[in-house]
A and B are shown apart, each in its own frame.
Chain A
Amino acid sequence: DGGITQSPKYLFRKEGQNVTLSCEQNLNHDAMYWYRQDPGQGLRLIYYSQIVNDFQKGDIAEGYSVSREKKESFPLTVTSAQKNPTAFYLCASSRGGARGRETQYFGPGTRLLVL
Chain B
Amino acid sequence: AQSVTQLGSHVSVSEGALVLLRCNYSSSVPPYLFWYVQYPNQGLQLLLKYTSAATLVKGINGFEAEFKKSETSFHLTKPSAHMSDAAEYFCAVGYSGGGADGLTFGKGTHLIIQP
Most buried by B among A4, A42, A45, A92: A42
Cβ-defined contact, B94 with A100, below 8 A? yes
Number of A positions contacting B (CB below 8 A):
23
Cβ-defined contact, A40 with B103, below 8 A? no
Cβ-defined contact, B43 with A101, below 8 A? no
For residue A107, which residue of chain B has the nearest CB? B43
Residues of B near A105 (CB, < 8 A) are 46
Cβ-defined contact, B43 with A100, below 8 A? no
Cβ-defined contact, A90 with B44, below 8 A? yes
In the assembly, what is the distance between CA of A101 and CA of B51, in Å? Answer: 8
In the assembly, what is the distance between CA of A6 and CA of B65, in Å? Answer: 30
In the assembly, what is the distance between CA of A85 and CA of B23, in Å? Answer: 29
For residue A33, which residue of chain B has the nearest CB? B103
Given contacts A42-B90, A43-B90, contact A108 B42 (CB under 8 A): yes
List residues of B (84-115) whose CB comes within 8 Å of A's CBs: 90, 93-96, 101-103, 105-108
Further pairs besides A40-B108, A41-B107: 9, Cβ < 8 Å: A40-B107, A45-B103, A90-B43, A99-B96, A100-B96, A101-B94, A103-B46, A107-B43, A109-B43
